[in-house]
Each structure stands twice: as C-alpha cells, then as structure tokens.
Amino acid sequence: MDKAYWLRRKQASLRMARNAASSRARLIHFDLAGRYSVNAMSAENSAKDLAESQPRPLYAAIKDQNND
C-alpha cells in the first residue's frame, strides 16, 4: 500500500477519535491512527528500498559504455 493511503486512514481515524462518544472508542481510534502512521512510514521506506534495488535504466548504461 502506498503512503498516501495510510495517511488518509490516519486522518480518518483521528477525525473519528475526536467525534467518539466514549473514552474507550477514542482510545481505539487513536491507537489505530498510530498504527496507520507506522504503516505510512513503512510504505515510504519500502518504496525507497525498491527504488534502490532496481537496475539502472538501459539508456544510462549505454551512455556510460559510449563514454568509456
């Protein structure tokens, strides 16, 4: 899942916490918001790791060969 999705879920959960009728429901929504925040950070880090693990684009490799 991407970072934007998890951040939207976090915002929705915080909104629901503010509107919660009981302290128990508020606590649950705040807990979920925290978990969504962690998921957003994880999605961002895995996207960076994926980008770093991709091979170099073909045109860059060809350009480097021509410069040698």
pLDDT digits (tens, 9 = 90+) for 23-64: 999 999 999 999 999 888 888 777 665 556 555 666 655 555
Quick one: what percent of the chain has pLDDT higher than 90?
43
In sequence order, the 6+-apart residues with CB closer than 8 A to the CB of 14 are 29, 30, 33
pLDDT at 16: 96
- Among 14, 17, 18, smallest CA distance to 40 is for 14
